[in-house]
Structure formats: C-alpha cells, structure tokens
Amino acid sequence: MTINRLNTRMSAFSAPPFTPQPEVSPSIEHPPVTAEVTEHLSPQVPTQIQADPAAIESSADIVYLSDLPLRPVEWLWQDRLASGTLSMISGEPGSGKTWVALAIAAALSRGRAPFTGVKLKPCTVLYASMEHDSSQVIHPRFASLNGDAARFVVLRGAVSAPSVLEDALQRTHARLLILDPFDSLFGADLHQSREPRSFLGTLATLAEKYRCCILLIRHLDKRGPGRPARRGQGSTEISAALRTEFLAGTSPDAPSQPALLQVKSNLGPLALPLAYKIDDAGNFLWTGPSTLTLEEVLATRPNGAGRPERRFAGKWLRQYLQDRCETQATIERDAQRDGVNISTLRRAKFDLGVRSAKNGVNGSWYWALPSQEEPQLAVKEAR
C-alpha cells in the first residue's frame, strides 16, 4: 500500500519567490526642536548670538603709546595759536578783544605772523559774530589792518548747531575760526557744568578733524579778584578744554596801555605779553613787548590816574628820566626826598609806560622812559 504524505519541506522551498515591498514609515508626531535640544544634540556647532549694545559701549578703546606716531605742534602763530586746538581770548568790554582777534586774522590772511611780521603761508579765516555788524564794524576794521578780504569769510546769522560750522569749514578750508563771542552764537547755558563739556568737546573734534585753530572770544565779568577762568561766562571746564588762553586788558593804574597776556599753554612755555594801542582814529597797532602782569590786569585798585598827586608823581618821574635810566632804588630814594609817595610813584610808572629791566651783572632793576633807546643795563654801574 502506498501512502501519499505532504512534503512540507519541499513545499516550503517551492513557494512563490519573495518580492520586496516599499517600506512605509509609521506616522510619528515629533515634538518641536528647542534651543536646549539643539545645543544638546550638536554641541560642536555654535549658535548665532545677538550682540549686546551695553557690552559694546563698555569695551575699552586702547592703544600702546609706541604705536602712535609723534606729531609736532603745527603753529599758526608761534607759541600762541596751534592748528587742531581750541584757544580763547577773554577780556572786559572795551578791552579790545575783537580788535586783537581781527589783527591776528589780518596778518595770517596776508601770510605774516602777527606782531613780528615773519613770513608764513597765507590762510583763510572764518569769522562768526552775533554782536558786530560785518559791513559797518568788521569790514572797516579789517581794511585798516590791511587784511586780505578775499581770505576773510563771514558766517552770517546765528549758528544753530555745530554742523553749520562743519559745513563752513568744509567749504572754506579755513585754518582759523573766530567765534565772537562764542557763547552768544549757540545759545548754550555755560553755567551748567555738562553743557560746556559737551559743547567744547564738539568744537575740539571739529578743530582736530579740519586742522584749524578755533579761537573763542569771551566776555569777562566785572573787574574783580580771581583768574579769568573764574570770572568769565561759564564754568572752569571751559578753560580746561583749551590748549592756549589769553587775557586782554589793562592795569587800573594805566588804562591807556592795554596788553595781550598769555595765561595758559599746554603746548609750551608762555609767550611774552604784547602791548597794543587803539588810537582816537580807530587804528590798531602792536606797540611792543609789555611788562604788564596778570595780577595787575586783574587788580581792583581804583583808577586814580587823574588825581593831583598822581599827576605830580608822573611829571616828576618824566623829568627825572628825561635823558637817562636809573636804578629803582635810586629813583625811589630821590622821590622820597622830593616829597613823592612811593606807592603813587609806582602807579605813575604805569601811566607813563616806563620800562623796567634787570641788570644781569649786579641784579638791580633799572627804569627808563619808553621813548628812550633800550638802556645798556649790562654795562651800567650800580650806584
């Protein structure tokens, strides 16, 4: 008998061939990828960080001194006015501040150093004022000083912002900018400590950028004790921002003999005081070196030049020094002998413009009238 059995082993191999089917990914809902997850999964890939403005403002701007080039001072007027800096002339009303500024401008426009006349390269001057009419005041004065009107540019109207000055400097290439007086042009409250600092900082930036000297004209308060920095409009921060500073004025004992005194310089030694004169016809003239001191200009003594005893002392001193120079000790001894008060004599000295110089041999001080030639003090014997 034959028994038919299912050959399961064979049927397994004889089944239809296997055909691969496309893989279908199951639908899985993923959570959103956060910054924390990204940082965890990819720690080597830096993420973009937003700059912090506060951090940028607090960063230090440093430079090694060895990396900075040496730049010598570029003088417009030797030892007095330098390119790229702020300077100022202070003085009481009527002291001749504007005349002095215009005399400086006229000389520079002609290529001459003020007072000395040393030959320089002519430069353009930019002038701004709210107090002086350009046609009736500035033009006649500048012409009398023999300035080059083609190199003198007037900025008319109020200066509403420093951007106006920058535009004018760009267009004129001026080497000297005069602001007369500077506090009235911008309407700034100079008695507030922050306003002068910001205002002068902007002016200093303009001076440095355009390599010009910005000369400020400032009115002093009424005559009184103290340095000009404490008597002018604004705080002492104004003087602190200046590289050179000047005082125009006279002594109460000699009101007809004004002088320009340098009272500050961060760039070198102080220059000698220069005397000037404004005659009745309105003509300005430098008259030479002056012996006027800062203390004398700021003195509060009453002006007694017209008093009889002062006139007597002046007449006596003029006659005494008519044809000679003499030591101060001898003059004062003879003055007392003739009934002249020594204090009055010294005030009369300023009235007459008497010069004094020290003898290098014996150390004595000698007096001489301004009309006389310079006395030969080094060879004169002391009495």
User: Would you say residue 20 has pLDDT above 70?
Assistant: no
CATH of the domain at 216: 3.40.50.300
Least confident of 30-39, 147-156, 196-205, 280-289: 30-39
326 and 281: one domain? no
Written as six digits, the tokens of 75 are 């003088």
Beta strand 244-251 with 86-91 is parallel
Q: Residue 254 CA to chain centroid, in angstroms?
A: 29
What is the tens place of the pLDDT at every residue in 202-218? 999 999 999 999 999 99
Q: Which of 367, 361, 354 is nearest to 328 (CA)?
A: 367
The pLDDT score that the predictor gives to residue 78 is: 96
Q: Is a pLDDT exceeding 80 seen at residue 376?
A: no
pLDDT band at 371 (very low <50, low <70, confident <90, very high): low
Q: Can you give the pLDDT at residue 42?
A: 46
CA 21 to chain centre: 90
98 with 160, same domain: the answer is yes
Give all strands of the β-sheet with 152-155 in edge-to-edge order. 152-155, 125-129, 176-180, 213-219, 86-91, 244-251, 254-265, 274-278, 284-289
The verdict on 334 and 293 lying in the same domain is no
| Integer Cα distance of 121 and 76 in angstroms | 9
192 and 332 co-located in one domain:
no
Could you tell me if 186 and 261 lie in one domain? yes
pLDDT at position 227 over 80: no
Do the domain assignments include residue 11? no
Instruction: Please compute the mean of the pLDDT values over residues 333-351 and round it to a whole number.
Output: 85
Of residues 29 and 159, the one with the higher pLDDT is: 159
Considering the domain architecture, whether residues 230 and 361 belong to the same structural domain is answered as no
- Are 189 and 237 spatial neighbours (Cβ–Cβ below 8 Å)? no
User: In the predicted model, what is the mean pLDDT of residues 320-345?
Assistant: 87
- Top pLDDT among 184 and 337 is at 337
Residue 180 in this model has a pLDDT that exceeds 80: yes
Please check the confidence at residue 73 and state whether its pLDDT lies above 60: yes
Cα 119 from Cα 36, distance rounded (Å): 75
Q: Is the pLDDT of residue 86 over 60?
A: yes
Q: Among 11-15, 321-325, 364-368, where is mean pLDDT lowest?
A: 11-15
Residues 105 and 173 in one domain: yes
Q: What pLDDT does residue 161 have?
A: 79
Q: Are residues 337 and 291 in the same domain?
A: no
Q: 355 and 249, same structural domain?
A: no
Please state, for a pLDDT cut of 90, what percent of the chain lies above it. 39
- The domain that holds 332 is classified in CATH as 1.10.10
**pLDDT-wise least confident of 158-162, 279-283, 286-290:** 158-162
Question: Quick one: pLDDT band at residue 1, thresholds 50, 70, 90?
Answer: very low
Domain around 238: 75-297
